[in-house]
Amino acid sequence: MEAIAKRSYLRVSPLKARLVIDQIRGQDVEKALRILQFSEKRISADVMEVLKSAIANAENNHGMDVDTLYVSKATVDQGSVMKRIQPRARGRSFRILKRSSHIIVGVSARE
């Protein structure tokens, strides 16, 4: 059985979020929390929040033992993109894309 937690519309590029998510996929929960705690990326705090929520879901909703949990699923999908305009020389304008991400973290018990 898998316990899942989601966080949508995070204002960070999916590319940057995947750098952190790839480090914790397949790791034990305690090791994943340690990796996120000492990561210097800004998004690691948000990923840690989602992981803690998945752990709480596993413990409270499914009755799993926290000591046997590992990160079985960790994905980042692209969310909506806000389009902004930056004025440039000679009356031109450049487009700025402000990307967002959807983070999904699932934990399962090792057998």
This prediction has a pTM of: 0.91
Question: What domains appear along the chain, each with residue ranges and CATH number?
Answer: 2-109 (3.90.470.10)
3-state secondary structure the chain: CEEEEEEEEECCCHHHHHHHHHHHCCCEHHHHHHHHHCCCCCCHHHHHHHHHHHHHHHHHHCCCCHHHEEEEEEEEEEEEEEEEEEECHHHCEEEEEEEEEEEEEEEEECC
Q: What is the pLDDT along the chain (111 residues), one digit of tens a residue?
A: 899 999 999 999 999 999 999 999 999 999 999 999 999 999 999 999 999 999 999 999 999 999 999 999 999 999 999 999 999 999 999 999 999 999 999 999 997
